[in-house]
Amino acid sequence: MSGDLCVCSAEFPQPNSALKVTLVLGEEDFRPTPSTRPATYGFPMPYVIGTACVDVMHKACVLQCPVDCIYEGARSLYINPDECVDCGACRLECDAGAIYYETDLPDDQLQHLADNAAFFSETLPGRDAPLGTPGGAAALGRLGVDTPLVSALAPRDA
């Protein structure tokens, strides 16, 4: 550690390879690992994508995720809470300010905590089973469906 920066190097497991990443994060971005993460809201939830991603989805965050756990719906992206390793790289890359650590969500976006998790734990419209933990978003590609909460949001340019 030097000054206000924490330089971290870590290896994250991938289905077919080991991906080594180096992260340079401000101290405010250091978060506990999933194994030590408290279930603040009754279920474990790390980083969360909020309203600002809806109808934006430029996917800059996806390129930064070392474990490929940011999945593409129709109008928004969703972070898989069981696959996220809490590195914070996606939040630093999101210039729309759409990504929050669970405890940083503003009050008017708290609904996205349960909604990000529901994208994986509930059966989405047009599918016959929950996504669960697929182990990587790239293999699935664009899913083209959202949670009922995101689907009901007004179009961004309306």
Who contacts 125 (Cβ-Cβ below 8 Å, separation ≥6)? 145, 148, 151
Q: Is 113 exposed, middle or buried (0-12, 13-18, 19+ CB in 10 A)?
A: buried
Q: Closest distance between ligand SF4 and the C-beta of residue 37, in Å?
A: 11
| 25, β-bridge pairs | 6
Task: Verify binding: residue 74, ligand SF4, rule CB under 6 A.
Answer: no
64 binds ligand SF4 (CB under 6 A): yes
Binding of ligand SF4 by 48 (CB under 6 A):
no
Interacting residue with ligand SF4 among 5, 60, 138, 140 (CB under 6 A): 60
- Taking the complex as a whole, the smallest distance from the CB of residue 95 to ligand SF4 amounts, in Å, to 7
Considering the complex, state which of residue 3 and residue 69 has its C-beta at the smaller distance from ligand SF4.
69
Q: Is 150 in the site for ligand SF4 (CB under 6 A)?
A: no
Pick from 148, 133, 12: which is nearest to 80 by CA? 133
Number of H helices, E strands in the chain: 4, 6
Cα 130 from Cα 105, distance rounded (Å): 25
117 counts as binding ligand SF4 under rule CB under 6 A: no
Q: If binding is defined by CB under 6 A, does position 87 make contact with ligand SF4?
A: yes
Among 79, 113, 124, 150, binds ligand SF4 (CB under 6 A): 79
Query: Three-state SS for 13?
Result: strand
88 binds ligand SF4 (CB under 6 A): yes
Residue 128 CB, nearest approach to ligand SF4 (Å): 26
What residues make contact with ligand SF4 under the rule CB under 6 A?
Answer: 46-47, 49, 53, 56-61, 64-65, 67, 69-70, 77, 79, 84-90, 93-94, 96, 98-99
